[in-house]
Amino acid sequence: NEACERFSCDAPPDNRGMTKKEWRRVLLKQGLEWSNKEKDMIFEELDFRHDGHITLSDVHIAVEAAAPVRSMEDLRRRWLASGYPSMTAAIRKAEDLSDTDMDARIPYEDFCKCLKTVSVLDASEHQAVFAAICSDRGSNPKVSLEELLAAIATVSPDLLLEDTRARIMKQYGSIDKAYNEIDRDKGGTIESREFSEKAITWLGLSIPE
């Protein structure tokens, strides 16, 4: 969008990201004469990886996520902007905080409670998401978190790969460091045996995964 295009003229490239100091300078160049405290508050909201850097992609996601959730694409943007490293992580949090089993079919009111635990707060957003995934046509329609996960999978990368990447980043901090750690014999390639060992013991993946 136009705002992000303007920011791109002054911001460092995405592969490096911006520090808090650089973020302040970019905002100043855009004519936004806010206090450093206000700039820092926005920076901390955008720094959902908590690594002290933000990128234009982070800004773009946050700007788009400010729009109402009306589709699965909107929901994905909202969750990414809210700091969830994967869609599976968001669904798991809704499952845990609402004490709702993934495959349990629940009515609209209970589904709304689940969404509220994962940054979807507005009633009109609840209605849009429910309508998007509900196939029941009876007087008391129900859905499940499992159905929500299946629906958001259609607008996401492979969910297992996305979730695995999130676990790798949490465990190692970067893909390069993960590669070096998993490549135990330093042969320049990762064998199936090497990956499986780390995936099970360090990343918590099951054997089939």
Q: Pick the residue with more confidence: 209 or 190?
A: 190
Burial of 10 by CB count in 10 Å (0-12 exposed, 13-18 middle, 19+ buried)? middle
Digit-coded pLDDT (tens) for 152-208: 999 988 888 888 888 888 888 888 888 888 887 787 887 887 778 777 776 777 777
Task: Average the pLDDT over 68-82 and give the result.
Answer: 91
| Three-state helix/strand/coil letters over the chain | CHHHHHHHCCCCCCCCCECHHHHHHHHHHCCCCCCHHHHHHHHHHHCCCCCCCECHHHHHHHHHHCCCCCCHHHHHHHHHHCCCCCHHHHHHHHHHHHCCCCCCCEEHHHHHHHHHCCCCCCHHHHHHHHHHHCCCCCCCCEECHHHHHHHHHCCCCCHHHHHHHHHHHHHHCCHHHHHHHHCCCCCCCCCHHHHHHHHHHCCCCCCCC
CA–CA separation, 185 vs 191, rounded Å? 10
pLDDT at site 3: 60
Task: Average the pLDDT over 35-39 and give the result.
Answer: 92
CA–CA separation, 144 vs 142, rounded Å? 7
pLDDT at site 102: 95
pLDDT at site 59: 81
Question: What's the pTM?
Answer: 0.65
Q: Is the per-residue pLDDT at 1 higher than 60?
A: no
pLDDT at site 14: 64
Digit-coded pLDDT (tens) for 78-117: 998 888 889 999 999 999 999 999 999 999 999 999 999 9
pLDDT at site 12: 73
pLDDT at site 4: 63
Beta bridge partners of 142: 107
Cβ neighbours around 54 below 10 Å, total: 25
